[in-house]
Amino acid sequence: MNLEEMARFLNWFFQAHRYPGEGIYRSSSRPIDRVGLLLEPFPEISTWVTHHQLDAIFLHRPWKLDDQFPSDVGVISYHLAFDERLTIGFNSRLAEALCLSDLEVLGEKEGRAIGMIGNVPIQEFTQCCQQVSEVFAGVKKVFPAQKTSVSRIAVVGAMTDLLIREAADRGAEAYITGQYRNVAESAVVETEIGTIEVGHQRCERWGLRSLAGVLQERWSGLTVVVKDDF
């Protein structure tokens, strides 16, 4: 397998036609047996690549990659596609982890879904928070719901007054997002919806781990090294 084959698969997986300019960032003809996944370059990235004998890397934010990076190691990058498809948004893999079913779109941006709403087995709000914390290895902040039980959840990669009110109108008792926005606070208070702020980096780290699974499901012999300890 080479970088172009990986890009063809990920273009399909990420629906890259909706996100111009994403895909191969630095070309390479090197066969790929080992790939590294990370969010952005760091000072010792070349040493890390050499230590793990990587043939290619995935970078979420590739722009600060310097010229000292090994020229024969391919680089592939999906930024907005990764955010919308593998973090907080309309994310079927995350829906499975949260036991979310009967998915519907909640929120759109330029014709793309940025969130989902669906049903979960009825549970206490505290149980919902615990499950989210287990999935993401913690949460940043929780704003408790007025209703103690939860049977419908919204998971949205944005937080606005309108989105909060739409989620509540459509029956959600809990709203999960990456970053809490004060502009929506009055809607949270008035709708009495519970809000769980995961934290931006936690969402991205979950996305990297999920992407590792996607790649290994497609290529069973591929070794994937994830660096998510920023």
Q: Could you give the domains of the chain?
A: 3-83 (3.40.1390.30), 88-199 (3.40.1390.30)
Region 197-214 average pLDDT: 95
What integer pLDDT is reported at residue 28 of this predicted model?
95
Q: With pLDDT > 90 as the criterion, what percentage of the chain qualifies?
A: 90
Region 137-166 average pLDDT: 93
Q: Which residues of 62-91 are buried (b: 16+ CB within 10 A; e: fewer)?
A: beebeeeeeeebbbbbbbbbbbbbbbbbbb
Average pLDDT, the chain: 94
What integer pLDDT is reported at residue 230 of this predicted model?
64
What integer pLDDT is reported at residue 163 of this predicted model?
97
What's the rounded Cα separation, in Å, for the pair 184 and 163?
Answer: 9
Question: pLDDT category, 192, cuts 50, 70, 90?
Answer: very high
Region 62-90 average pLDDT: 93
Question: pLDDT category, 83, cuts 50, 70, 90?
Answer: very high
Question: pLDDT category, 122, cuts 50, 70, 90?
Answer: very high
Please give the sequence-ordered ranges of beta strands (E in DSSP) within 49-148, or none if there are none: 56-59, 74-77, 101-105, 108-109, 112-113, 115-124, 141-143
Encode pLDDT of 21-51 as tens digits.
899 999 999 999 999 999 999 999 999 999 9
Encode pLDDT of 86-112 as tens digits.
999 999 999 999 999 999 999 999 899
* Number of C-beta neighbours around residue 116 at 10 A: 25
Q: Are 140 and 198 in contact (CB under 8 A)?
A: yes
- pTM for the full model? 0.91
Please choose, from the candidates 5, 72, 10, the residue with its C-alpha nearest in 3D space to the C-alpha of residue 37.
10
Q: With pLDDT > 70 as the criterion, what percentage of the chain qualifies?
A: 100
Question: pLDDT category, 228, cuts 50, 70, 90?
Answer: confident
